[in-house]
Amino acid sequence: MYKKTSRILAIAAASLALTMGAAHAQTPPPGGPGGPGGPGMHAMHHGDFMMGFKKLHDKLNLNADQEKQWQAALDTMKQNHEQMRKIHEQLKQQFEAQKNQPILDLNALHAAHQQAEQQSAQLREQNAQAWLSFYNGLNDQQKTTVSTALKEHFAKMEQRREKLLQHWQHHGAASAPAAAQ
């Protein structure tokens, strides 16, 4: 009995998370499109990421074969990103079709989510293989350049994560007295 209840709660929680994610995607952030965590923020980080890619590309001084591998990996990444976006949109549409029903079909939602996860995992693996193929064609100096860039990127991600964590800890601590009243 306990296992069945836990599983139902887990599915319900996953469905709720899917619902909140879809709702969040449709809701503009506070302060407009450039608000915290909103579409403007994604575009900013995406722009930083792509600019970093361009800088890295320029530093590598690729030969013709390496350039072909770079372009193939970049094309694979772009195509797979678009495919993942379509998968997400299909999930959203499936939920939209069900949300007006008096009783949600959590089994169908869960199955759709599992299928989307599998498809996305395959696409991420294709991306990884394309970039590994490119990386394996580099010489040691070029690999060092890539390694340095990745280490810098990981350090920036960690700094952002720490700032976000501090923000939420501060936000939670500030709202705790108000919630107690």
CA distance 39 to 45: 10
pLDDT value of residue 131 = 95
Residue 138 token pair: 């580099």
pLDDT value of residue 100 = 87
pLDDT at residue 139 above 60?
yes
pLDDT tens digits along 36-68: 444 444 444 556 667 888 899 999 999 999 999
CA distance 178 to 173: 10
CA distance 37 to 33: 9
Residue spans of the domains in the chain: they are 63-137, 139-168
Share of the chain above pLDDT 70, in %: 68
Whole-Å CA distances, 174 to 139, 161, 168: 52, 20, 10
Amino acid letter for position 5:
T
Q: CA torsion angle for 129, 132, 133, 138 (degrees, to 10)?
A: 170
pLDDT value of residue 53 = 81
Global model pTM greater than 0.85: no
pLDDT tens digits along 74-124: 999 999 999 999 999 999 999 999 888 899 999 999 999 999 999 999 999
